[in-house]
Amino acid sequence: MPEEKSLNFIEEIVERDLAAGQKGIITRFPPEPNGYLHLGHAKSICLNFGLSLKYGGYTNLRFDDTNPVTEETEYVDSIKDDVRWLGFDWKNELYASDYFPQLYEFALTLIRKGLAYVDDSTSDEIAAGKGTPTSPGKDSPFRGRSVEENLSLFQQMKEGRFKDGERVLRAKIDMAHTNMHMRDPILYRIKHAHHHRTGDAWCIYPMYDFAHGQSDSIEKVTHSICTLEFVPHRELYDWFIEKLEIFPSRQYEFARLNMTHTLMSKRKLLQLVNENHVSGWDDPRMPTLSGVRRRGYTPEAIRDFCDRVGVAKRDNLIDISLLEFCVREHLNKVAQRRMVVFDPLKIVLINYPEGQSENLPSENNPGDEPVTYREMPFSRELYIERDDFMEHPPKKYFRLAPGQMVRLKSAYIIKCEEVIKDAAGTVTEVRCTYLPESKSGSDTSGIQVKGTLHWVSAAHTIPVEVRIYDRLFTVEDLGSIEGDFRQYLNPQSLVVKKVFAEPSLAKATAGDRFQFLRMGYYCLDEDSTPAKLVFNQTVTLRDMWAKEVKKG
RNA sequence: UGCCCGAUGGUGUAAUUGGCAACACGCUUGAUUUUGAUUCAAGAAAGUCCAGGUUCGAGCCCUGGUCGGGCAACCA
């Protein structure tokens, strides 16, 4: 039995409720369809769906579509794709807009109870009347209207007798309340706008506060989980439930996910898209689910990540290296190994017959239970990484150098015999001898070498494009910067290279994930054509040597 | 100048609810290795924001501070 993992504070609440006799739980994931889902949403999705999976119950997918001017069907579709990709199934696909008739009835109820009124004030007047956090607001001059007049006016609002902004319906609570959200919050506003689902059926739309909690209640959601910025809304949330005498859903808040070197704000991400700082919502540098998916991240890795970051109420800034650890850990298990030379240096095997070649088997993944192999052509002329040769190597360098021997992965041990340079002194070719008796799998040479290099046969290699990504922003904490966040965009966040791949990669299909030996994890991008393969770098391998070099 | 949250190694999350502060990432060192990857082993790193109080005993409870975050969209 593995050690029982400790519960997060929401699980504790759920277990307490269950122990107190509650029969099961219902949660919901309530995105507004005005942008693509990002890693922060993944945390919420894993929490909400994870809870109902763990405690027996279900989770609804409910679109909070109460603002027709920013919401679109494109977003609805992408959100559904992303939730499914992450690996979760919702019980019901619902929309707050489904509840417009019911919500309208709720508004009528409040008016009849004398708890809501139509306000003719302008937006500015209402804002001014709100007061400030440290000073009370003032009652609207329209606050005292009779129930009949309010009913009539609200009816006229619904019928389209007024223009946008001319009137609103407000709750009648307390303009001096210490909680700003309780100072007669707006319930309904007029928007003569086309809604992605209800079309032109309505010209009044409920505000978030009047739609969200009641939607939870209608669905009998037991635990309505949201982020910390909604804490002050909870008092209002409960007020509606009490006054309307409806199912008592309960709201609980947790701290949203923040990550180093990136942003988790839909508004700012939209700006990056609109201003073409990235190629789209699914640009592999984006922290969106469609972005990390295209980058090659697996749903397993994302879920593992969400599990590891935990759930609590204090502000946090998760190091992006934790995310990278999670992908590496999963990809190490599932990605097939391939060899690709990024910056080629020609090797000529002077004792290997010209015109000859042979196929050498190489493991697809050394960790697989029965190890499987692919064939790699080997010949007299090869490419290795330019970094893997040094004419004057430092002490702990155990790659190729004059007089030194290295192993070519899955092939032979070679020894550097001669270095050829051009007029500028740049090494253009390295001549080596190979040890025929050192062939992988049947090595009788008895020689042990420290270094093993990846390589590709010059005559058999296929050119491919590789897109190498780095952090989107140069600063760690985007939340604590002054000025425009765009000035911190990393100009080096995308580097495109033409590189040399082993021929078996020609068979790859979009979405396939590989480990390019010693280089990193890559996946085939959808931009690929049979004539031109494009690979996205998912994440590099851990690199102790790079650290050593950096230390100097 | 109000109300509401929060504070535990560098980061994140725990601490059987009052009993020797643990786990993970990151970092360091060593072993293994036909990937300087993986794997394995070891280690450094907080005495729990501060000050009082309750208690045999406080990271947990109480009081008062300090610091950080949120709250005044006809956004969600």
Q: Compute the distance between CA of residue A249 and CA of residue A103 in angstroms, rounded to an integer.
A: 16
Contacts of residue A257, defined as CB under 8 A and 6 or more positions apart, other chains included, come to A39, A40, A42, A43, A264, A309, A316, A318
Cα diameter, chain A: 102
Contact A365, A371 (CB under 8 A): yes
Q: What does the DSSP 8-state code read for residue A234?
A: H
Sequence-distant (6+) residues with CB within 8 A of A61 are A28, A29, A79, A80, A83, A90, A92, A93, A94
Per-residue pLDDT of A145-162, as tens digits, reads 999 999 999 999 999 999
Which residues from the 73-132 window of protein chain A have CB within 7 angstroms of nucleic acid chain B?
Answer: 121-123, 126-127, 130, 132
Query: What is the share, in percent, of chain A residues with pLDDT greater than 90?
Result: 97
A48-61 average pLDDT score: 97
Residue with tokens 């982020």: A227
- Provide mean pLDDT across the span A160-187: 97
CB proximity list for A484: less than 8 A, separation 6 or greater: none
At A179-234, the pLDDT tens digits run 999 999 999 999 999 999 999 999 999 999 999 999 999 999 999 999 999 999 99
pLDDT over 80 (residue A352): yes
Q: What average pLDDT score do residues A523-527 get?
A: 98
Q: Which amino acids of A are annotated catalytic?
A: 32, 256, 266
* Å from the A357 CA to the B52 C1': 83
**How confident is residue A2, by pLDDT bands cut at 50, 70 and 90?**
very low
Average of per-residue pLDDT values in chain A: 96
B17 C1' – A258 CA distance, angstroms? 29
Q: What is the rounded distance in angstroms from the CA atom of residue A498 to the CA atom of residue A517?
A: 17
- C-alpha to C-alpha distance for A397 and A549, rounded to whole angstroms: 10
Task: Write the pLDDT tens digit of every residue in A462-495.
Answer: 999 999 999 999 999 999 888 899 999 999 999 9
Q: Which residue is nearest to nucleotide B34 (CA to C1')?
A: A409
Phi and psi angles of residue A24, each rounded to the nearest 5 degrees, phi first: -170, 180
Q: What does DSSP say about strands A381-385 and A456-457: parallel, antiparallel, or unpaired? A: antiparallel
| Residue A552 confidence class, pLDDT cut points 50, 70, 90 | confident
One-letter-per-residue 3-state SS of A469-524: ECCCECCCCHHHCCCCHHHHECCCCEEEEEEEECHHHHHCCCCCEEEECCCEEEEE
- At A1 the pLDDT is 36
Rounded to whole angstroms, what are the CA distances from A460 to A83, A382, A439, A524? 42, 9, 20, 20
The nucleotide minimizing the C1' distance to residue A399's CA is: B36
Q: Which residue is nearest to nucleotide B74 (CA to C1')?
A: A189
- Asked whether residue A3 carries a pLDDT value surpassing 60, the answer given is no
Q: Which of A4-13, A68-77, A413-422, A459-468 has the lowest mean pLDDT?
A: A4-13
Q: What is the ipTM of this complex?
A: 0.96
DSSP state, A89?
A: -
Instruction: Mark out the alpha helices in A297-428 (DSSP H runs).
Output: 299-309, 320-334
Residues 6+ apart with CB under 8 A from A260: A317, A318, A319, A320, A471, A476, A477
Strands A427-434 and A381-385: unpaired
Contact between A432 and A414 under an 8 Å Cβ cutoff? The reply is yes
* Predicted confidence band of residue A4 (pLDDT cuts 50, 70, 90): low
Express each pLDDT in A315-331 by its tens digit: 999 999 999 999 999 99
In the three-class reduction of DSSP (H, G, I as helix; E, B as strand; rest coil), residue A182 is classed as: helix
Sequence-distant (6+) residues with CB within 8 A of A243 are A110, A113, A115
Provide the token pair at A36: 């693509």
Q: Which of residues 314-333 of A touch strand B (CB under 7 A)?
A: 314-319, 321-322, 325, 328-329, 332
pLDDT 10s digits, A239-273: 999 999 999 999 999 999 999 999 999 999 999 99
In angstroms, how far is B14 C1' from A445 CA?
A: 53
Strand order in the sheet with A413-421: A452-453, A405-408, A413-421, A427-434, A344-349, A381-385, A456-457
Instruction: Round to whole Å and give the CA distance between A449 and A414.
Output: 10
> pLDDT for A410-423, tens place per residue?
999 999 999 999 99
**pLDDT higher than threshold 80 for residue A461:** yes
Query: In A 395-454, which Cβ lie closer than 7 Å to strand B?
Result: 396-399, 407, 409-411, 438-441, 443, 451-454
C-alpha distances out from residue A487 to A277, A285, A287, A338, A478, Å: 11, 16, 18, 38, 11
